[in-house]
Amino acid sequence: MPAQTIAQTWLARIRELALPRPIRLMNVCGGHERSISFSGIRGALPPGIEIIPGPGCPVCVCPEEDLYEAIRLSLEEDVVLVAFGDMLRVPANVPKGEPRSLEQARAAGADVRPVASPQEAASIARAEPDKPVVFFVAGFETTTAPVAAMLAEGVPDNLLILLAARLTWPAVAMLLDSGEAAFDALIAPGHVATVMGPEEWSFVVERHRMPAAIAGFTPESLLAATYSVLRQTIEDRPFLDNCYPELVRPGGNPTARRWLSEVMQVEDANWRGIGIIPDSGFALRPAWQHLDARRVFPAPEDTRRRAGEMPPGCDCASVVLGRIFPDQCRLYGRACTPRNPIGPCMVSDEGACRIWWSSGLRE
């Protein structure tokens, strides 16, 4: 059946459901939010169903102190700083006169280069054997696993890692444990579940009796997941549904998980604008810490330590936590646009503010 017809079938089924009350669903994946926004799913759903973008953008939650550290390292003599392209424009609050982003550091003379993959970072290190090449990694499990694989398989001695990698489920657990979660059901991230296994999301159902479904990135898969959690709600029968069975298998990807557990350990981590979330960050295991850029280039005693702040006036943390929609920020579309972004949610391709603006959700 053509994809469009499948999507229309799911929509028709959703419209037939008799909802007992308005229902709010949260997605926690920039790819999901992109597909939902660009396909117009929100507008096609019947009244009473809202889909909230949640913590699905690793660039948006990268702590300001890590960003500041990356900018500082990029300005060290001979250092080449490489990062995924999104990170280059993310603004930090810095003292007047200092570069406030990696892009500005590059304009000031730093050797800052965008990369699209860990292999590209390793290639740059091989091509620049006399220079330290610092790979600034901000990402979730799906980004971190290939980095772990690269390290496990061997990298040039001059490739250092500045890690700001996070796990997705602890942010959702923190929201649910707080008792202030503003959603009734979860659309869980298919990409992450492909790597880590669907079992990571069982806590949503087992601890909180909340309907949950894992979705892929197509509108059909997202609508199937939407239908599933709505049915679960109506029947008061929550379970973790796998609406992405093509790729999501029990136990996830054992090779990727082995790389992750071999190279990385999990520890408490700071999320920009949110604070410390227990067991939510990846760090290099001791055997790999000689590649930790923070150890090779220790920060000066008087370095600035910020507690994960957002730029003044930016409500990105509330957007990330699903407490407001992007267009409820006072700066959205006025002072803050993709051309002149104030906060990280308008910079990153996975940021809800940028996705909403780019997809035409401008009022």
Which whole-number Å values give the CA distances from 146 to 92, 101, 142, 286, in the listed order?
Answer: 27, 26, 7, 19
Q: Are strands 275-284 and 264-271 parallel, antiparallel or unpaired?
A: antiparallel
Q: Which of 343, 350, 355, 361 binds ligand SF4 (CB under 6 A)?
A: 343
For residue 68, give every residue at least 6 positions away whose Cβ sits within 8 Å of its Cβ, in sequence order, or none.
92, 94, 303, 304, 306
Q: Quick one: 175 or 353, whose CB is closer to ligand SF4?
A: 353
- As measured in angstroms, the least distance from the Cβ of 78 to ligand SF4 is 34
336 part of the interface to ligand SF4, by CB under 6 A: yes
Alpha-carbon gap, residue 69 to 270, rounded angstroms: 14
Specify the stretch interacting with ligand SF4 by CB under 6 A; choose among 85-93, 151-159, 260-268, 340-348: 340-348
Q: Quick one: 66 or 111, whose CB is closer to ligand SF4?
A: 66
For residue 62, give every residue at least 6 positions away whose Cβ sits within 8 Å of its Cβ, in sequence order, or none.
87, 90, 138, 164, 272, 344
Q: Quick one: 215 or 336, whose CB is closer to ligand SF4?
A: 336
CB distance 178 to 165 below 8 Å? no
Residue nearest to ligand SF4 (CB): 343
Query: What mask of x and - would describe binding to ligand SF4 in positions 295 to 334, judged by CB under 6 A?
Result: -------------------xxx--x------x--x-xx--
DSSP 3-state of 220: helix
Alpha-carbon gap, residue 250 to 318, rounded angstroms: 33
91, 67, 60: which is closest to 81 by C-alpha?
67
Name the residue with tokens 């006169």: 97
**314-323: b or e for each residue (b if 16 or more CB lie within 10 Å)?**
bbbbbbbbbb
CB distance 143 to 86 below 8 Å? no
Q: Quick one: 248 or 346, whose CB is closer to ligand SF4?
A: 346
Q: Quick one: 38 or 203, whose CB is closer to ligand SF4?
A: 38
Specify the stretch interacting with ligand SF4 by CB under 6 A; choose among 110-118, 161-169, 193-201, 338-346: 338-346
- As measured in angstroms, the least distance from the Cβ of 324 to ligand SF4 is 8
353 part of the interface to ligand SF4, by CB under 6 A: yes
346 part of the interface to ligand SF4, by CB under 6 A: yes
Name the residue with tokens 């790999």: 288
Specify the stretch interacting with ligand SF4 by CB under 6 A; choose among 13-21, 30-38, 115-123, 342-350: 342-350
Q: Quick one: 230 or 314, whose CB is closer to ligand SF4?
A: 314
Q: Quick one: 140 or 332, whose CB is closer to ligand SF4?
A: 332
**112-134: b or e for each residue (b if 16 or more CB lie within 10 Å)?**
bbebeebeebbbbbeebeeebbb
- As measured in angstroms, the least distance from the Cβ of 317 to ligand SF4 is 8
170 part of the interface to ligand SF4, by CB under 6 A: no
Q: Which of 61, 147, 342, 355 binds ligand SF4 (CB under 6 A)?
A: 342
- As measured in angstroms, the least distance from the Cβ of 71 to ligand SF4 is 19
Q: Quick one: 193 or 317, whose CB is closer to ligand SF4?
A: 317
70 part of the interface to ligand SF4, by CB under 6 A: no
Alpha-carbon gap, residue 277 to 238, rounded angstroms: 26
Instruction: List interacting residues with ligand SF4 (CB under 6 A).
Output: 314-316, 319, 326, 329, 331-332, 336, 342-343, 345-346, 353
